[in-house]
């Protein structure tokens, strides 16, 4: 899939030039450099942020062997740098840099594997993309979630910046889909992966991050089979203002699609602080109702005041950047939301659109608006209505599952972001959809994944020599009694 970027958020251009000499071997450059500056998990800022002590704690990783190994290196050496790692092989490359598989050198080595992303700061500065790398690092520093990457360390070596992150041996969901029958996932598998992705997006939005690059290639599979989002170089950082909404309909009064009745829009609870305002269905009307204001001419205020209290006591906190606005033209052609293409400004609703495209590809093996060319694809996203291919269902239950999945995708792929599921109140209404019926959101992390990857053969340590000898014995040799050699000694205790 072609990826397009016009990073006005980061004062960047669309140039794809590389700095002169940037193709030189970075390993040899670093090896010959005598100065390696160390960075810790300090606050925001550029790559030249002064060295600070590690103040950020990662409760979800507190008992992880990889995290403990890094902590011991910091305690023993007073910091961490490239000299503490041994590079094993390259895992891949992206627009900003290369990713390498690595592990700690002796005597710190514990067998733990890491993924190290290395970017050439000089090359990125020449291409006006250095700010993108800085934003990615700032975002990674703040994350602590089961379905998002862990940044173990970040440091500089010469003109290179290094990010040491989690290694996922299961590859990505794009490759995993190719292995499935018909190159598509079952509905139960799609529910599992989409549910974990929803939780990851929910956390990012609460942290003020709009992801903007969701696709199967960026969803990695950990060793335990659970997912991890990756690649935050297109993400947008913004402010989040918490809002308290009160729905006129109770949780059980939702339609079959999992959404509240559209004839009963949510009303505002008076904000605790003046800065908190209701941005849903008009600011002024909501404030007028919340303050017990006068009738606006059509009797809406009076009707709101006369409603039974039982129907207006369902408050909901919304902590998502639904009002954020960016006009950057970034993303992958087949996943771009209509508001991104039109340039009218976009916020967190683009992530719910990409979730719909992501889910569509998982279910049907292709994206919904792909055309013969990139230009045709963009035109289809704007004008072409959503259509679903015919899929043979084995029984009534499977058919119902497909119908619920299609209903969810149709609501996520609403071209108007204000009518899109999740576009106004975020992840809460997405999680209430009937497709996720039976999902225990608090215990998704404990659910058995559809597939647990096996470590690649190249990463599995070879068996001991003694074990090899036993495996090569003949049947006759294995049945003979053991006869120790004369030079062998045994100690009894």
Measure Cα distances from 243 to 277, 279, 487 in Å: 6, 8, 79
Measure Cα distances from 179 to 175, 197, 365 in Å: 7, 21, 11
Q: What is the pLDDT of residue 410?
A: 97
Q: Are 60 and 153 within one domain?
A: yes
> Rounded distance, CA 147 to CA 205, Å?
14
Among 318, 341, 359, give the residue marking a domain's end: 318
Would you say residue 478 lies in a domain? no
User: Active-site residues: which are they?
Assistant: 213
With cut-offs at 50, 70 and 90, classify the pLDDT of residue 36. Answer: very low
Q: Are 201 and 155 within one domain?
A: no
Q: Checking DSSP bridges between strand 236-237 and strand 209-210, what pairing results, if any?
A: antiparallel
Among 292, 318, 344, give the residue marking a domain's end: 318
Q: Are 232 and 252 within one domain?
A: no
Would you say residue 57 lies in a domain? yes
Average pLDDT, the chain: 74
Six token digits for residue 71: 């902590």
155 burial via Cβ count (<10 Å: 0-12, 13-18, 19+):
buried
Six token digits for residue 218: 């960026």
With cut-offs at 50, 70 and 90, classify the pLDDT of residue 93. Answer: confident
> Rounded distance, CA 472 to CA 436, Å?
52
Q: What is the DSSP letter of 413?
A: T
Do you find a cis peptide bond into 107, omega within 30 degrees of 0?
yes
Q: Are 209 and 123 within one domain?
A: no
User: What is the percentage of the chain residues whose pLDDT exceeds 70?
Assistant: 61
Would you say residue 467 lies in a domain? no
51 burial via Cβ count (<10 Å: 0-12, 13-18, 19+):
exposed
Q: What CATH code is carried by the domain that includes residue 179?
A: 1.10.510.10
Q: Are 309 and 328 within one domain?
A: no
Would you say residue 155 lies in a domain? yes
Beta bridge partners of 332: 3
Q: What is the pLDDT of residue 240?
A: 72
User: What is the percentage of the chain residues whose pLDDT exceeds 90?
Assistant: 48
Q: What is the pLDDT of residue 454?
A: 78
Q: What is the pLDDT of residue 360?
A: 97
With cut-offs at 50, 70 and 90, classify the pLDDT of residue 108. Answer: confident
Q: What is the DSSP letter of 346?
A: B
Higher pLDDT, 484 or 364: 364
Q: What is the average pLDDT across 312-336?
A: 69
Q: Are 65 and 112 in contact (CB under 8 A)?
A: yes
Higher pLDDT, 225 or 395: 225
With cut-offs at 50, 70 and 90, classify the pLDDT of residue 218. Answer: very high
Q: Are 293 and 441 within one domain?
A: no
Q: What is the pLDDT of residue 2?
A: 55
> Rounded distance, CA 224 to CA 340, Å?
35
Query: Which residue is listed with tokens 């039982």?
Result: 310
Number of domains in the chain: 3
Q: Picking from 165-169, 237-241, 370-374, 462-466, which range would have the lowest pLDDT averaged per residue?
A: 462-466
Q: Are 158 and 31 within one domain?
A: yes
Q: Are 386 and 370 in contact (CB under 8 A)?
A: no
Q: Are 351 and 299 within one domain?
A: no
Q: What is the average pLDDT across 113-126?
A: 94
Q: Are 256 and 301 within one domain?
A: yes
* pLDDT, tens digit, 9 for 90 and up, residues 6-33: 544 543 333 222 233 333 333 333 333 3
Q: Are 128 and 223 within one domain?
A: no
Contacts (Cβ under 8 Å, ≥6 apart) of 366: 360
Q: What is the pLDDT of residue 3?
A: 57
Among 290, 318, 346, give the residue marking a domain's end: 318
Would you say residue 468 lies in a domain? no
- List the beta strands (DSSP E) in 326-366: 331-332
CA atoms lying within 13 Å on the CB side of residue 206: 13
* pLDDT, tens digit, 9 for 90 and up, residues 120-174: 999 999 998 899 999 999 999 999 999 999 999 999 998 999 999 999 999 999 9
Q: Picking from 17-21, 207-211, 226-230, 360-364, which range would have the lowest pLDDT averaged per residue?
A: 17-21
Q: Is 164 helix (H, G, I), strand (E, B) or coil?
A: strand
Q: Are 156 and 286 within one domain?
A: no
Q: What is the average pLDDT across 380-396?
A: 86
> Rounded distance, CA 478 to CA 204, Å?
59
Q: Are 436 and 351 within one domain?
A: yes
Would you say residue 465 lies in a domain? no
Would you say residue 458 lies in a domain? no
Q: What is the pLDDT of residue 323?
A: 61
Would you say residue 469 lies in a domain? no
Higher pLDDT, 394 or 144: 144
Q: Picking from 121-125, 140-144, 240-244, 377-381, which range would have the lowest pLDDT averaged per residue?
A: 240-244
Backbone angles phi, psi at 5, to 5 degrees: -145, 135
Structural domain harbouring 120: 17-166
Q: What CATH code is carried by the domain that includes residue 148?
A: 3.30.200.20
């Amino acid at each position: 899939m072609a990826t397009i970027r016009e990073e006005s958020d980061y004062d960047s251009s669309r140039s794809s030039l590389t700095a002169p000499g940037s193709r030189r071997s970075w390993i040899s450059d670093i090896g010959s450099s005598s100065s390696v500056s160390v960075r810790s998990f300090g606050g925001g800022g550029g790559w030249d942020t002064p060295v600070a002590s590690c103040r950020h704690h990662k409760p979800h990783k507190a008992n992880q062997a990889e995290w403990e190994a890094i902590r011991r290196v910091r305690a023993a050496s007073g910091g961490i740098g490239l000299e503490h790692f041994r590079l094993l092989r390259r895992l891949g490359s992206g627009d900003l840099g290369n990713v390498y598989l690595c592990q700690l050198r002796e005597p710190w080595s514990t067998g733990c594997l890491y993924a190290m992303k290395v970017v050439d700061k000089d090359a990125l500065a020449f291409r006006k993309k250095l700010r993108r790398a800085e934003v990615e690092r700032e975002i990674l520093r703040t994350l602590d979630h089961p379905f998002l990457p862990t940044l173990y360390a970040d440091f500089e070596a010469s003109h290179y910046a290094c990010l040491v992150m989690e290694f996922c041996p299961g590859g990505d969901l794009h490759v995993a889909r190719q292995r499935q029958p018909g190159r598509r996932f079952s509905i139960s598998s799609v529910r599992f992966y989409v549910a974990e992705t929803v939780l990851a997006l929910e956390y990012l939005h609460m942290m003020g991050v709009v992801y903007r690059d969701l696709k199967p290639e960026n969803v990695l599979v950990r060793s335990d089979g659970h997912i991890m989002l990756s690649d935050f170089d297109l993400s947008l950082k913004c402010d989040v203002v918490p809002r308290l909404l009160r729905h006129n309909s109770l949780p059980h009064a939702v339609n079959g699609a999992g959404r509240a009745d559209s004839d009963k829009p949510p009303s505002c609870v008076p904000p605790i602080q003046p800065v908190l305002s209701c941005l849903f269905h008009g600011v002024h009307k909501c404030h007028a109702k919340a303050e017990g204001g006068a009738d606006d001419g059509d009797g809406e205020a009076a009707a709101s005041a006369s409603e039974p209290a039982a129907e207006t006591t369902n408050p909901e906190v919304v902590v998502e950047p639904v009002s954020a606005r960016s006009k950057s033209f970034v993303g992958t052609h087949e996943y771009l939301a209509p508001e991104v293409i039109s340039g009218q400004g976009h916020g967190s609703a683009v992530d719910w659109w990409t979730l719909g495209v992501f889910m569509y590809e998982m279910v049907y093996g292709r994206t919904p608006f792909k055309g013969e060319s990139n230009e045709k694809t963009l035109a289809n996203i704007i004008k072409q209505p959503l259509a679903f291919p015919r899929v043979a269902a084995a029984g009534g239950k499977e058919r119902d599952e497909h119908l619920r999945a299609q209903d969810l995708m149709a609501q996520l792929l609403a071209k108007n972001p204000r009518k899109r599921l999740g576009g106004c109140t975020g992840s809460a209404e997405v999680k209430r959809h009937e497709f996720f019926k039976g999902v225990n959101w608090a215990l998704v992390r404990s659910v058995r994944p559809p597939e647990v990857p096996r470590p690649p053969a190249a990463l599995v340590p070879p068996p001991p020599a003694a074990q090899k000898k036993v495996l090569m014995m003949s049947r006759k040799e294995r049945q003979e009694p053991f006869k120790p050699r004369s030079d062998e000694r045994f100690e009894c205790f």
